[in-house]
Structure 1
Amino acid sequence: MSESILLDEIFTVTSVDKQKYQRVSRITGTSAQNDMGLTLDINSQLYPLEQDATFSLQLASNLNSQELKDAADYIMYGKVYRVEEAKDDKISVFISFGGLLMSIEGSHRKLYRLSLEHVYLLLRR
């Protein structure tokens, strides 16, 4: 794994909420090992996801690698704006991608590299 990759996980979509906005869906999901939870707003016209779909999620500190950019189907740039302790040695990380929000909860061991800084979100099927 490249030094710029802060997190690399596979998630399964558990629900899709398309109620509020025409072009934005709020998805929730769990990681393949069921040790991380995810809530993510995505542009559903550019990258539609349905319930039970699986996708790879990467968070990177930069996009210096052309290989990294070429492998992604959907990329967003955002800022980690809050990190807080959760229960059972877990932490929650909140990221804003220009109004599209993400929260991810998991073990400190997997999320420790995420701090209050800018990140790139890369999704691929």
Structure 2
Amino acid sequence: MASAGDSQLFEEAFTITTFDQSKYDRVARIGGTSADSQTVMTLDINTELYPCSVGETLHCVLASSLNLDGTKDDGRGWRDVARSGPGGETSLADMFEYVCHGKIYKFEDGEDGQTIKAYISFGGLLMALEGPYKKLTPLHVDYVYLLCKK
């Protein structure tokens, strides 16, 4: 039987270091650095749904499934699971405040040869992660969920 850890491809806490809302009304491009300073994140976030600011810590997870047992999703989205109402099945999304579904679509080698950069699109809201190969190795071109909480 799979465990939730099997579906979690990446997990990190980032301190928000930049916040740019100059291009769109409800979207900001935030930048963050991991606690160990090895991983850098850039993320477009809907500030109307999830307001945040410089200095806050954002705990982010990339997962291949929202099922708590780590099994593949059965085609239902996380909203369908949430609509099942009280007493319905719980999912990984219940533990987070901001959830997106998207696709990892590109990788680039870092300029120093020791890092890799992964690009993910969540319906036009983009994310870039740059860090050591070891941390980002579980990522591959596929659909993923982004889950965030403060």
Equivalent-residue separation in structure 2 for 1:84 and 1:47 (angstroms): 29
Comparing both structures, which one devotes a greater share of its residues to strand? 1
Alignment map for 1:96-111 (pairs within 5 Å): 96-111=121-136
Q: 1:35, CA displacement in angstroms?
A: 0.4
Alignment map for 1:1-125 (pairs within 5 Å): 2-65=5-68, 66-86=90-110, 87-125=112-150
% of aligned pairs identical?
Answer: 45
Structure possessing the higher radius of gyration over alpha carbons: 2
Equivalent-residue separation in structure 1 for 2:139 and 2:108 (angstroms): 11
Equivalent-residue separation in structure 1 for 2:136 and 2:115 (angstroms): 9
List structure 1 segments (4+ residues) > 4 angstroms apart after TM superposition: none
Equivalent-residue separation in structure 1 for 2:64 and 2:108 (angstroms): 20
Equivalent-residue separation in structure 2 for 1:45 and 1:70 (angstroms): 20
Give the TM-score normalised by structure 1: 0.97
Cα deviation 1:86-107 (Å, max 9, x = unaligned): 1241000000000000000000
Give the TM-score normalised by structure 2: 0.81
User: Aligned pairs, how many?
Assistant: 125
